[in-house]
Structure 1
Amino acid sequence: MLPLLLVSFLDQVVADREGSECAARAMMSQLNAQGVKLVLPSLLKGLEDKVW
């Protein structure tokens, strides 16, 4: 789910971007330590992407 949310941050439609931001915030707020370990590699990979 996370990779799809990260891609949708680049959407041209403002409502889509805002929706993906709300969904990402809700998802991240519920992560425990194990969830952070699973999500962190995707986030770090995204930081290396020139599009971001």
Structure 2
Amino acid sequence: MASARLSRNGRTLARGRVSRSGRLTLTTSRRLASGSYSLSIGSLRMTVRAR
């Protein structure tokens, strides 16, 4: 399993794991605002948008 992190402006907003089957599960303590976020999975990093 790989660890995953969702961040914005250098702050981690959610953490989670990617299962062997490829399912991504993130846990956050508050609701996400719409906008662009950085999703890091292992050494891979990509930009995602929340609506």
TM over 0.5, yes or no?
no
Structure having the higher strand fraction is: 2
TM-score by length of 2: 0.22
Structure having the higher helix fraction is: 1
TM-score by length of 1: 0.22
Q: Please tell me whether Structure 1 or Structure 2 has the larger radius of gyration of its CA atoms.
A: 1
